[in-house]
Amino acid sequence: MAAAACLVTALGKLVFDISGRELDLGLLGLAEFAPAALLVLITGTVADRYDRRRVTSIGLLAEGLIALVITAYVAGSPTAVGPLFGLVLVLGIARAFATPAARSLPADTVPSDVLPWLVARWSLAFQGALITGPVLAGSLYALDVRAPFVASALLFVAAAVAFALVRPAVGRAPRAGPRDRAPDDRAPDGGSRLEEALEGLRVVGRQPILLGAISLDLFAVLFGGAVALLPAIAEERLGVGPVGFGWLRAAPGIGALAVMGLLAVRPARRHVGRKLLGAVGLFGLATIVLGVTRNYAVAFAALIVLAGADALSVFIRITLVPLVAPPAARGRVLAVENVFIGASNELGAFESGVTGQVLGPALAVALGGVATLVVTATWWFLFPALREVDRFPDGPGEPERSERSERSERSDEADQIDEADGSDGS
């Protein structure tokens, strides 16, 4: 993740330096998101039919190669952003294949009851990368525009090697290739392959908790994508240069790292539905503060708070979704999730770029925070099954436990005890 964070931060700064237009920051996010949406029926199927470690490693190596191509382009002192958009589109294709495969691996490598423990530590490392990546990008960019892209390429290669070395738990292989499957498990013709590809959409549509959790992230962060406008906010409202911008871009990682450190010690296990919705609401409030302030310290603090809230919501979602999804369709479900998350991040960046161009970055960010609060309130009533989830399910196919069902279970247990006591005394 440090590689991706470094690359995206440097690309945002480079594009804004060349064109000076907020709209181009939005187009950059759109170019990164489009492949995940267009290839969703393919990428999820690949993650379910092939070794997920290999799929992830190949995708990361492709991203590293693209980073080197961007380095070569930057070396020519470019004055046009069009070629960068084309390269980011190719980058998005590689990421579209790597993401659902990588997201499926934690649930493949440990038992379901250990997954929250693993997710907390994985997220801690993830958020640490979100700090080091942007700071590295800002510092290297100030020294040499090409340097952060070279660093990203090296980090992508290191990540590819690390994923290739992942070893699954006994009996939990990350998927076998089609040749290793039983004949009945293969899709024999085009129609059945299409049915297989569409299964991820069907599973999400049938599960209110899956649909609610994933779509909440889509619409809330779609409107609250303030990070995409940070280059404009840093320069036009806060008056800081590349180093100050790099630290500002790293502030979300600091907030998220603090929350993930707490979750690593005390993982959220109760009232997870309400905590998910509450965290998204806090994210919206902090986004409003970021939009209205002109003070660097306040903006830095707002980014820490909104990222901490987002980290809690991400922890709950990335633990809940794989456990609710059937193992055989997990890659396809997570490919659908990747489209939703990409829409909330990259498409949200496009929305922020457009509104920033029309309304200015400050008003665009503030109104996005307001929209996030509206979405949170709507989802509270629209998805009661999500709101009432109390604990994570014990594993795929197990019912999600709500506070209401748990009270019912305790009541049943009490009745059984009373009946036993009565029979003993008769």
Reported as a pLDDT band with limits 50, 70 and 90, residue 343 is low
Top-confidence residue, 233 or 402: 233
Query: What digits encode the pLDDT tens for the residues 257-287?
Result: 788 888 877 877 778 889 899 998 999 899 8
pTM for the whole structure: 0.61
pLDDT over 80 (residue 399): no
pLDDT over 60 (residue 418): no
Per-residue model confidence (pLDDT) at position 172 = 47
- Alpha-carbon distance of 349 to 357, in angstroms, equals 12
Per-residue model confidence (pLDDT) at position 65 = 93
Would you call 348 helix, strand, or coil by DSSP?
A: helix
Reported as a pLDDT band with limits 50, 70 and 90, residue 192 is low
pLDDT over 80 (residue 98): yes
Region 163-177: what's the mean pLDDT?
61
Per-residue model confidence (pLDDT) at position 225 = 64
- How much is the CA Rg of the chain, to the nearest whole Å? 22
Say how far residue 161 (Cα) sits from the centre of its chain.
Answer: 22
Q: Which of 171-185, 268-282, 337-351 has the highest mean pLDDT?
A: 268-282
Per-residue model confidence (pLDDT) at position 307 = 85
pLDDT over 50 (residue 338): yes
pLDDT over 60 (residue 350): yes
Name beta bridge partners: 389: 402
Per-residue model confidence (pLDDT) at position 188 = 38
pLDDT over 60 (residue 39): yes
Q: List, in order of start, the domains of the chain with CATH numbers.
A: 2-166+199-420 (1.20.1250.20)
Name beta bridge partners: 391: 401
Reported as a pLDDT band with limits 50, 70 and 90, residue 352 is low
Residue 88 burial (C-beta neighbours within 10 Å; 0-12, 13-18, 19+): buried
pLDDT over 50 (residue 409): no
Indicate the angle between helix axes 296-324 and 82-109, nearest 10 degrees.
50
pLDDT over 70 (residue 63): yes
The three-state DSSP-derived secondary structure of 244-280 is HHHHHHHHHHHHHHHHHHHHHHCCCCCCHHHHHHHHH
- In the chain, pLDDT over 70 holds for what percent of residues? 78
pLDDT over 50 (residue 179): no
How does the average pLDDT of the chain come out, rounded?
76
CA proximity to 342, closest of 96, 106, 6, 50? 96
Region 114-128: what's the mean pLDDT?
75
Indicate the angle between helix axes 115-143 and 147-164, nearest 10 degrees.
160
Query: What digits encode the pLDDT tens for the residues 238-263?
Result: 777 777 777 787 788 788 878 888 88
Amino acid at 128: G
